[in-house]
Amino acid sequence: MSDDVLLIETQGKVRTLTFNRPDKLNAFNDALYDAVRDALVVANDDPRIAVVILTGAGRAYCAGMDLGDMDNRPAYAEGERHGFTPFMESLEVFSKPLIAAVNGVGVGIGLTMLPYCDTVVIDEKARLRAPFVALGVTAEAASTYLLPHTIGWANTADVLFTARFISAENAVEIGLAREVAPNGSALARAQEMAAEIAANPVESLKATKGLLIQARIDAVRAAREREGPVFAALEGQPANKEALAAFKGKRKPDFSKL
């Protein structure tokens, strides 16, 4: 097993980026955010690459942000930019077809990155969850804009307000994923889709994806700008503290006295 937090493999005009923290269920820390950001920038600028696939190593796709790593972020030099925001900036302007092969559980950013993908294939045993309200915070990654436009208002309300797990079948039913793949075959199916897309001219694909991005980029950025301060204001509040204490203590949070 490689020590790299991101595995990169290229087959023809298709590049696969594999989140590689299987012992953490591929939860994102700054190192993984930065690695994916850099890989997206490189693939975006490489004329030989037509399609990128995102997937996870092991039994998970992405279990969200690594809560256990939040207190251990390294000290950065002034002006350096790392982590979630630069990652989002690269994702929202990625101008080539992007396919998610959801091979296992997808939580938090593991769910909210999916509307940025042009096609989502989900393993039949995978589940998705947006846990934000249950953590005492709020939605992120422009999901307050992208989810209603992807799955509709009522489905978004259900996903965000209940914080319950969504089955693979339900994800397809509401439009969060395109197709359910038999157990263990999500990546293989994504590769089939990618090969079909990659048979087309790269410049035509990039031009078309660029036009799609331009139709929504201002709204996406505005949503992130709205979400950020609200999320930050809720961090460290009593509900958030109780949720994190419960997570670390492996117990159910108790918000009844708040």
Residues sharing a CB contact under 8 Å with residue 36, sequence separation 6 or more, in sequence order: 6, 17, 19, 54, 87, 90
The string of pLDDT tens digits covering residues 187-244 is: 999 999 999 999 999 999 999 999 999 999 999 999 999 999 999 999 999 999 999 9
The residues near 195 (Cβ < 8 Å, ≥ 6 apart) are 12, 14
pLDDT at 4: 95
The CATH T-level fold of domain 1-71+81-183+201-258 is 2-enoyl-CoA Hydratase; Chain A, domain 1 (3.90.226)
The single-letter code of the amino acid at 65 is M
Q: Break the chain into its structural domains and give their ranges.
A: 1-71+81-183+201-258
- CA 214 to chain centroid, in Å, comes to 20
Rounded average pLDDT over 124-145: 97
Q: What is the pLDDT of residue 76?
A: 56
In this predicted structure, what is the pLDDT of residue 26? 98
pLDDT tens-digit profile of 140-179? 999 999 999 999 999 999 999 999 999 999 999 999 999 9
Count of C-beta atoms within a 10 Å radius of residue 206: 17
Q: Quick one: pLDDT at residue 2?
A: 44
Distance between CA atoms of 56 and 245, rounded to whole angstroms? 27
Q: What pLDDT score does 194 carry?
A: 98
Condensed to tens digits (0 to 9), the pLDDT of residues 74-127 reads: 655 555 678 999 999 999 999 999 999 999 999 999 999 999 999 999 999 999
Q: Across 1-15, 122-136, 237-251, which has the greatest mean pLDDT?
A: 122-136
Q: Is the pTM of this model over 0.85?
A: yes
Confidence of residue 247 (pLDDT cuts 50, 70, 90): confident
Whether pLDDT at 23 is above 60: yes
Which helix or strand (DSSP H or E) is residue 128 part of? strand 127-129
